[in-house]
Structure 1
Amino acid sequence: MVRILPEGRLVYGMQLPVQALSAVFAEGWETEAEPGDLLAIACAADRLGFFYVACCDHVAIPARLADAMSTTWYDPVATLSYVAAATTRVRLLSHVAVAGLRHPLVLAKQYATLDHLSGGRLILGVGAGHVREEFDALGVDFDRRGPVLDETIDALRAALGPEEFPEYGGRHFAFRGLGQRPRPVQVPRPPIWVGGSSPAAIRRSALRGDGWLPQGDPRDQLPSRIAELARLRRGAPLDIGAITEPVYVGEPSWRVGRRTLRGKGEAIAESLREYARMGVGQIQVRFRSRSAAELLDQMEAFAADVAPHLN
């Protein structure tokens, strides 16, 4: 078990803009943004005390989903390595790597190198994936992705550990006598957070993960899922996250959506403290913005006016 969240404190992170342009969460300005905008925001997160920045994962998007999902999905290892070179403190989260698309030794090589290059800042978030054509194109059985992910996590726990020659034997993967360096900086290994909110994902998080990454669950659904995690964990601790409603610090002059948390920092913080009372240790904040400059302003305002009231 690897825990990294501070006990008794609520910390905050964010998904990087620009790197994924799904219509579900991307702002309009991101389609014309440049890598420099992404890097500036990552550097701001580093400076402003954000616990992590996150990057999504898809290899290829089928035409039937392109309008909703777009085909812009940066590679998480490349993107987080790019960010790592310009930052010093903020952790680097894959939210989430579709782990079953790659052999565990390939994943271990990629993410151990990222942990090594970043000085031990990796959080490996993994999930089952949902795009059948993506699996078909790579020759991976979509219908068996759950059991394959279970075994992939087990194999990663070995492959990302301290041993230069890790050993693992399972139904789908087996390796021994094969060395990989560089090793991760984090000991005994980087944390593995499991994404998803289905019953299978909840069970996988509880039995195999170091943390849980829900996928945008409404906050009124979180307590029952956190209770199920606790039941399955049998008292063992787990780093639990949540994705908040959209946030806009201050009074917007434009339509930010009826679900958006807005207004003074202390009022927003009071709303977000409810997550901590449920047992959540980290919140992923999604800011409403019309430009990279406005997003940077919102991050500054959150760090100055909201974060001091979270704990």
Structure 2
Amino acid sequence: MQVLPEGRLAYGMQLPVQSQSTIYAEPWEAGAGPADLVEIARAADRSGFAYLASCDHVAIPRRLAGAMSTIWYDPVATLSYLAGVTERVRLLSHVAIVGLRHPLVTAKQYATLDHLSQGRLILGVGAGHVQEEFEAVGADFERRGAVLDETIDALRAALGADEFPVHHGKLYDFEGLGQRPRPAQERVPVWVGGSSPAAVRRAALRGDGWLPQGDPRDRLPGQIARLKRLRAEAGIEDPVTVGAITEPLYVGAPGWDVGRRALHGAPEALAESLRAYRAMGVHQIQVRFRCRGRTELIDQIAAFGAEVAPHLD
């Protein structure tokens, strides 16, 4: 299922502020809030970004709080809020840990989001990794992969066209229970996150898209080849949207230390580097800009959309 413009390398972004892991959060985000998110979302909407993404964690244990922080906005609330101040950009959960909730609860939330946004939802799902989080809500951490597999199947039914969806599985069983509003889309796209062998297989067999989690450039071609081989062996002919998370970016000469890994420089040079993802078979790239504040980030978003994006194809 193709939901992004065909024939070009699409670009989206994980929102800042809404998740503040020390792995990627900039210092200024600690003091930011809803007004910043609104202006950043509007800038991305204006600049041709394919999607805005929001993460999902219910609660962070103390042992991980130093690295992960405890700032994790709820993705449904966040994306619904930003749907009201944007017009065309899609809204991606990257990723919803759907095994923490009953599929009918998840379907109610995300169907409403798709309805309110007039069909802009992309449901990104993942298995999760924080054991205490699962235990706190009574979810099965040890079998989270199997739970996710069935949850995707159940969500396909619950987010479909039928007001009274039907699913009879090992873990979840429902029939004769109506949910409205229905999603605005006839079929909500489901993108599966993760780079483990199990996650790639899940994306191949159950997903409309794949969201790798930090695969470096030299590893992506092999992962993509496996994804396509598994789909072919299963007889799945529908197209799959392959994603990638790029290195940190800075458009132009930064004039400050943006870090060894960051790509920076002239727009044409950045575009040339990013086109390598398209050559690997990637359809959409998720970009993250180095910045020292909201104004600089919005300037980077605008520069990328106006000066880099036209050279991506």
Tell me, yes or no, whether TM beats 0.5: yes
Cα deviation, residue 258, structure 1: 1.1
Q: CA–CA distance in 1 between the matches of 2:223 and 2:178?
A: 39
Question: Which residue of structure 2 lines up, in the alignment, with residue 56 of structure 1?
Answer: 55
C-alpha distance in 1 between matches for 2:111 and 2:270: 37
Which of residues 243, 246, 255 in structure 1 aligns to 2:245?
A: 243
**Which runs of 5 or more residues in structure 2 are unaligned?**
none
| Per-residue deviation, 1:62 | 0.2
* 1:177 alignment partner in structure 2: 176
- Determine whether 1:160 maps to 2:181: no
The amino acid that maps onto 1:299 is I
TM-score normalised by L of structure 2: 0.98
Q: CA deviation at 1:5?
A: 2.2
Superposition deviation, residue 228 in structure 1: 0.2
Separation (CA, whole Å) in 2 of partners of 1:95 and 1:202: 16
1:93 alignment partner, SS class: strand
Q: Which amino acid aligns with 1:291?
A: G
How far did 1:130 drift? 0.2
What are the superposed Cα offsets for residues 122-152 of structure 1, whole Å, 9 maximum, x if unpaired?
Answer: 0000000000000010111100100000000
Q: Distance in 2 between matches of 1:283 and 1:91?
A: 14
Q: Cα offset for 1:6? A: 2.3
Using structure 1 for the length normalisation, give the TM-score: 0.98
Does structure 1 residue 126 correspond to structure 2 residue 128? Answer: no
1:226 counterpart residue number: 224
Which of 214, 217, 220 in structure 1 is aligned with 2:215?
A: 217
Shift of 1:253: 1.0
Q: Which contiguous aligned blocks of 4+ residues in structure 1 show a shift greater than 3 angstroms?
A: none
Using the alignment, how far apart are the partners of 2:302 and 2:64 within structure 1? Answer: 35
**Which amino acid in structure 1 is aligned with residue 230 of structure 2?**
L
Question: Unaligned regions of 5+ residues in structure 1, if any?
Answer: none
Partners of 1:200 and 1:194 in 2: CA distance: 11
AA partner of residue 153 (structure 1): I
Residue deviations 1:257-297, cap 9 Å, x none?
A: 11111000000000000000111000000100000110001
Q: How large is the Cα RMSD of the aligned pairs?
A: 0.7
What is the CA deviation profile of residues 168-201 of structure 1, one whole-angstrom value per residue up to 9, with x for unaligned ones?
A: 11000011111100000001x2100000000000
Please say if 1:201 is aligned against 2:203: no
Does 2:35 match 1:33? no
1:80, 1:292 → 2: CA distance?
Answer: 19
Looking at structure 2, the residues matched to 259 and 124 of structure 1 have their Cα atoms a distance apart, in angstroms, of 30
Tell me the equivalent position of 1:278.
Answer: 280
CA distance in 1, matches of 2:145, 2:33: 36
> Distance between the aligned counterparts of 1:3 and 1:182, measured in 2?
24
Out of 264, 269, 272, the position equivalent to 2:271 is: 269
3-state DSSP of counterpart to 2:165: coil
Shift of 1:8: 2.1
Structure 1 match to 2:259: 257
Q: Distance in 2 between matches of 1:181 and 1:219?
A: 43
The 5-angstrom pairing of residues 40-51 of structure 1 reads 40-51=39-50
Aligned residues: 309
Moved more, 6-15 or 189-198: 6-15
**How much identity, in percent, do the aligned residues show?**
72
Separation in structure 2 between the aligned mates of residue 295 and residue 256 of structure 1, nearest angstrom:
13
**What is the one-letter code of the residue matched to 1:278?**
M
User: C-alpha distance in 2, partners of 1:29/1:166?
Assistant: 45
- Cα distance in structure 1, aligned partners of 2:111 and 2:97: 17
Q: Secondary structure at the match of 1:143?
A: coil
Distance in 1 (CA, whole Å) between partners of 2:68 and 2:281 is: 31
